[in-house]
Amino acid sequence: MKRLLILMFIFLIFTACENKDEAEEPNSMADLSVSPDFAFNTTKIVELNLTSRDASGNLQPNVPFSIFKKDPATASGSRVLRSATNDFGNFENTIKLPAYYNKIYIRPAASEVQELAINHLSSENAKIDADFIYSPNKLKYNKNLDSFEPVTASDNGFVFTLQNIVADYENSTATITISITNNNNKKFKDAYFTIPSSVLATEIEPNNTNYESPAGMTYWVQYPVNHWIMGNSIAYYGNNGFKNGETDYYYITLPLEVFEFWNSMEMYATATGNTSGQVTLDFSYTPEFSMTEYYPAENEFGTLAYEDYWPQQGDYDMNDLVIDYNMSLEKSYVGDLETIFAQFNIRAIGASYTIGFGFQLPDFIQVNGNVTSTSGLAYVEADNRTIVLFDDARDIVTENSDQFINTDPALPYIETSVMTISIPVVSSDNNTDEDWFLPPYNPFIFVNERAKEIHLANFPPTNQADLTLFNTQDDASDPVSDYYYRTAANLPWAFHIAESSLYPIEKIQIIQAFPEFYQWAESEGNQATDWYTFPDENLIYPVP
């Protein structure tokens, strides 16, 4: 009996402790204890310092590569950067990644995918300092380069495919790979490919030489040839070649500058017995010496979620406006930003107020020309770096304009569409890595009037904002300390997630919909960094 009482006593103590721990887990944003130094960032700024080498460790200059968030061998659409190392085999840049990532992947042109480990320096910063191996596969015609989409066409039993284009920066050339499949039962003979008339014979490889093809066929290659149908062409003269579905490959090396204006090639093939086929292939090729950055990744979206009550504290369901974004930055090889292409998709409107949306570029980036958008509603403000996408979200999502959009499961789901915008820009050097200096830059909503802006935590207002609203009601901003859009309890009015995220249903706080949110917030972003990937499915808006 005495032993039983002792066991019961221990059980009660254990249960009480367990219940105490559960009770201490905040279930309301009001219960959170958050440091003023924590800005609710779900991303890290990652400094890249990469060096390209061959398998023997020798420096390899001008190596094109792509960087991916996920292994491109198993997951598509996760590229975050396309560029090349410089004349010394080096590449330096800064990107933004989800904070919970521990590695990313690099794929040099025509080489194998390699892992790059992320060195976490703090809850907001990380670094990758690494070498990668450039070891081109000899069968490079089977590898489609990142910036090129193969094109194909058929005629009279011949299948013509422009497989890829490989840049060689050291020699300022690019090599085109073409395949021809002969489905006829007649042996393949000759192939002809049109070349721009401005290209000299001495600039083409191969030319006036014997060419041993992958199919074991020997051709005599000659340029220029004035083909009786196609005109200025490079000719591959052969005999007794492949047939019955067999394929051969052809390589043509041209100066890189040709691809600035040339995007169409005619092809002509013959087989014994006067059998012939002719096609025209239009192609699109961007030489790899330019650089593209993708945020959060190519063909992927990040999520921005807002409360609209500021300067009054809201209900923290974070669905007054939920808008997804994707941005790509087109840069020259030396890193000068030239164009920003952006896509936005309003996913939810849980507000009865009029909500506009825009984003501000940092002061070292200026709009340089006309901004075009599919909605026709976007415009640039007088500072030449603030772009407003719309003054009223209901002008974009017009269906059921008198109801909340996609926040209440009892109401019909509204299918929304992506709007795009193209922004020509000029940029100057920047040596500071502020979070909002990278996409999505400084995104904000404005409520009922242009001057009432709501930004991410510690992101500054634009010059159109009414600064007299700071430190009124629940706002505790301190502009002198760059402390913006925070309550006295250090809570924000907006969140940015660098992946497309789910969001709470109406009147459910974000801390309730995502059980690990509190741990992330109270640890200053050092724990549960992937909190938004573990929702309570019963409290999340169910997209059909």
- Counting Cβ atoms within 10 Å, is residue 4 exposed (0-12), middle (13-18) or buried (19+)? exposed
Query: Is 90 exceeded by the pLDDT of residue 58?
Result: no
Whether residue 146 is predicted with pLDDT greater than 50 in this model: the reply is no
| pLDDT for 171 | 66
The pLDDT assigned to 273 comes to 87
Q: pLDDT band at residue 483, thresholds of 50, 70 and 90?
A: very high
Percent of the chain at pLDDT exceeding 90: 65
pLDDT band of 83, cuts 50, 70, 90 = confident
**Which letter does DSSP use for residue 412 in this model?**
P
Better-scored residue on pLDDT, 229 or 79 = 79
Cβ neighbours around 425 below 10 Å, total: 20
Averaged confidence pLDDT in the chain:
88
- Separation of alpha carbons 326 and 303, rounded Å: 9
Summarize pLDDT for 89-123 with one digit per residue, the tens. 899 999 999 999 999 999 987 788 999 999 999 98
Average pLDDT, integer, range 35-53: 95
Residue 327 forms beta bridges with which residues? 295, 342
Distance in angstroms (rounded) separating the CA atoms of residues 128 and 120: 9
Whether residue 206 is predicted with pLDDT greater than 70 in this model: the reply is: yes
451: confidence class by pLDDT, cuts 50, 70, 90:
very high
Higher pLDDT, 77 or 543: 543
User: pLDDT tier at 542 (50, 70, 90 boundaries)?
Assistant: very high
Q: pLDDT tens, 254-296?
A: 887 788 789 899 999 999 988 999 999 999 886 655 688 999 9
More confident residue, 146 or 112: 112
Whether a cis peptide bond, with omega within 30° of 0, leads into 504 is no
Mean pLDDT within 32-45: 94
**C-alpha span between 100 and 526 (Å, rounded):** 9
User: In which band, very low, low, confident or very high, does the pLDDT at 170 lie, cut at 50, 70 and 90?
Assistant: low
Q: Which residue has the higher pLDDT, 223 or 167?
A: 223
**Per-residue confidence band for 340, with pLDDT thresholds at 50, 70 and 90:** very high
Q: Report whether pLDDT(450) > 90.
A: yes
State yes or no: pLDDT of 2 exceeds 50: no
The answer to whether residue 329 scores a pLDDT higher than 70 is yes
And the tokens for 82? 């396309």
Residues 6+ apart with CB under 8 A from 305: 318, 319, 321, 322, 494, 495, 497, 501, 503, 510
Q: Which of 192-196, 315-319, 397-401 has the highest mean pLDDT?
A: 315-319
Q: What is the H or E stretch that residue 522 is in?
A: helix 517-522
In whole angstroms, give the CA distance from residue 345 to residue 469. 29
Amino acid 228: pLDDT:
82
Question: pTM of the predicted model, to two decimals?
Answer: 0.74
**In the predicted structure, residue 464 carries a pLDDT above the cut 60:** yes
For 378-393, how does the pLDDT look when each residue is reduced to its tens digit (9 = 90+)?
999 999 999 999 999 9
Is the Cα dihedral 440, 50, 67, 171 positive or negative?
positive
pLDDT of residue 147: 56
Taking 70 as the threshold, does the pLDDT of residue 538 lie above it?
A: yes
- Which whole number is the average pLDDT over 475-493? 96
Confidence tier at 45 by pLDDT (50, 70, 90): very high
Q: What percent of the chain has pLDDT over 70?
A: 90
For residues 443-449, give the mean pLDDT.
98
